Structure formats: C-alpha cells, structure tokens
C-alpha cells in the first residue's frame, strides 16, 4: 500500500458538458499535480470512459503522476491505472482489493467515523471524506459535514483523509488544520481562469511543492500498458514495450476528435 506516498492534492476530472477535461488535467500536471482521478459522468458509456481514462493515464505517465479511476474498476484495469476510488454503491473495497494488483491505491468514501473504520477494515488505502462544504460539481450529495465532521473522521482512523466538496485554496488550509492529509478538487481547477495557476495555489495550500513536473521530452519514451504486461515498475507504471501503447493511441484519437472548447462531448456521442 502507498499511504506514505499519497499526494496531498487530488485533481478530479470535470466531464460536465461545458468543460474540457484533457486541457484542465494537462494544465494541472504542468503545475506539479501528482495525482489525477478520472471521474466519468454516469451517462458515459464504458467505451467513452475507457477513451477518457486512457488519454489521462497517458498524460499522467508523461508527467510522472498517479492516475486513479472513479467507480469503474474494470476501466482502471484496462488502462493500467494506479488504482481506483470507490463510493458506497460501487464494488466493495475488499472485493476490489482481491482483484487489483497488490500495490494498487484504493480510495474509499466516508462521512463519519463508523464508515471510515469500516473502509479501513476492508482495505482502503485512503478515505475521501465530504462534502465538507456545498458544491455544484456533483448532484444528489448529502448535506455538508463541515470541518467538525472532517476532524471527527480524521481522529477515528490512521489512514490519509482527503477532504472534498467546495474546496478552495483557503479552505484547503483549513482542512489540513482539521487533520486531513490533503484535498480533492474539481471546479477549483476546471473552472479557474488559469487552471495551472490555480493548481499551483492549491499545491502551496496543502504544503506540496509546485515545481514543474517532468516534461514530455524527459519521459516521452515511457508508455503505460495494461495489466497484461504483468509487472509494475517502482513508480507504479507497467513495463514498457516496443509497440505504441493503447494509451498513446487513444490519446491521439481524442486529440483529433475533441477541441478544448467542446470538452468531451464528441467522444461521448461517438462511443
């Protein structure tokens, strides 16, 4: 398990209709973000989710960052992601732990000490806790738990807690003071006028360096492969082969079909 290596800032893709997830993710990675969570909307087909995840996994690999997939364990397996984040209605954490590689990061969702301890027993690597404040990036969420609720979960378990929901740079500092290991953001990056600058500000707020991630030229020869490669390197990526990876091909396909202004709509429609 990688609790000690878990980045403090988790950048989550924003796949709502008016946003461009690839552009925002690349800006965040360029600013120094070290973990991206791919969160396809519920209406995404598996093919659309796969294409999005492979493109983002390729970007993460190029920048030396971790890539997680929200909800869809089979998509994470297919693209060779570093792990998953699972909610209460997703595959149980212990079941995912049995089928994913031993080094996989598995995030669980909790709102109170009881659910946090249950996720800990099931084998979670970290906990996503919230919403701490109200948010408009996801519908149907329960009432915010506030900093008091966040602190209660942090005190209940010895796992890294990632606060989510209405996070800004200023609020990220408050979450850290309440005991959180870090924060997860959607709109704070995707909705920013300058996503790269917003990411740098968030990194500073959680105490991580905003140094620029490795450039493509420095790591361009490394490519991500699926589980059939059978072996992870020290950074959690699969071994490199001679042929172009599925991720690089999907990334090229997405580049051809998506304009930054159009977001991911065409990929969803064509899936």
Tell me, what's the pLDDT at 249? 44
Beta strands in the chain (DSSP E): 9-12, 35-38, 66-70, 83-85, 105-110, 126-129, 161-164, 182-185
Average pLDDT, the chain: 82
Q: Do the annotations mark residue 186 as ligand-binding?
A: no
Q: Do the annotations mark residue 263 as ligand-binding?
A: no
Q: Do the annotations mark residue 109 as ligand-binding?
A: yes
pLDDT tens per residue across span 183-222: 999 999 999 999 999 999 999 999 997 665 554 433 333 3
Q: Do the annotations mark residue 41 as ligand-binding?
A: yes
Q: Do the annotations mark residue 199 as ligand-binding?
A: no
pLDDT tens per residue across span 44-83: 999 999 999 999 999 999 999 999 999 999 999 999 999 9
| Residue scoring higher pLDDT (233 or 252) | 252
Q: Do the annotations mark residue 157 as ligand-binding?
A: no
Q: Residue range 90-102: average pLDDT?
A: 97
Query: Would you say residue 118 has pLDDT above 50?
Result: yes
Q: Do the annotations mark residue 120 as ligand-binding?
A: no
Q: Residue range 119-124: average pLDDT?
A: 98
Q: Do the annotations mark residue 39 as ligand-binding?
A: yes
Q: Do the annotations mark residue 137 as ligand-binding?
A: yes
Domain 6-270 has CATH 3.20.20.70: yes
Single pTM value for the model: 0.79
Q: Do the annotations mark residue 227 as ligand-binding?
A: no
Query: Would you say residue 263 has pLDDT above 70?
Result: no
Query: Would you say residue 4 has pLDDT above 50?
Result: no
Q: Do the annotations mark residue 38 as ligand-binding?
A: yes
CB neighbours of residue 115 within 10 Å: 17
Among the residue ranges 7-21, 75-89, 92-106, 169-183, the one predicted with the least confidence is 7-21
Query: Would you say residue 270 has pLDDT above 70?
Result: no
Q: CA-CA distance, 49 to 102, in Å (whole number)?
A: 24
Q: Do the annotations mark residue 136 as ligand-binding?
A: yes
Q: Do the annotations mark residue 37 as ligand-binding?
A: yes
Query: What are the extents of the domains in the chain?
Result: 6-270
Q: CA-CA distance, 104 to 81, in Å (whole number)?
A: 8
């Amino acid at each position: 398990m990688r609790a000690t290596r878990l980045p403090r800032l988790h950048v989550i893709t924003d796949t709502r209709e008016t946003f461009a997830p690839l552009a925002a993710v690349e800006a965040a990675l360029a600013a120094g973000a070290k973990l991206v969570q791919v969160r396809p909307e519920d209406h995404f087909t598996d093919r659309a989710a796969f294409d999005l995840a492979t493109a983002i996994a390729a970007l993460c690999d190029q920048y030396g960052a971790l890539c997680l997939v929200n909800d869809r364990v089979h998509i994470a397996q297919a693209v060779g992601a570093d792990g998953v984040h699972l909610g209460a209605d997703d595959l149980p954490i212990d079941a995912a732990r049995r089928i994913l590689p031993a080094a996989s990061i598995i995030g669980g969702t909790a709102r109170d000490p009881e659910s946090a301890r249950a996720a800990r027993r099931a084998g979670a690597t970290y906990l996503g806790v919230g919403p701490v404040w109200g948010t408009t990036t996801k519908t149907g969420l329960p009432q915010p738990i506030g900093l008091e609720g966040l602190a209660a979960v942090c005190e209940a378990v010895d796992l890294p807690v990632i606060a989510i929901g209405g996070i800004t740079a200023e609020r990220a500092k408050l979450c850290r003071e309440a005991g959180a290991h870090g924060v997860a953001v959607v709109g704070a990056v995707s909705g920013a006028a300058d996503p790269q600058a917003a990411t740098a500000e968030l990194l500073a707020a959680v105490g991580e360096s905003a140094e620029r991630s490795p450039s493509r030229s420095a790591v361009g020869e490394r490519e991500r492969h699926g589980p059939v490669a059978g072996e992870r390197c020290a950074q959690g990526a699969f071994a490199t082969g001679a042929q172009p990876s599925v991720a690089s091909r999907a990334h090229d396909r997405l580049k051809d079909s998506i304009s930054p202004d159009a977001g991911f709509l065409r990929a969803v429609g064509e899936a």
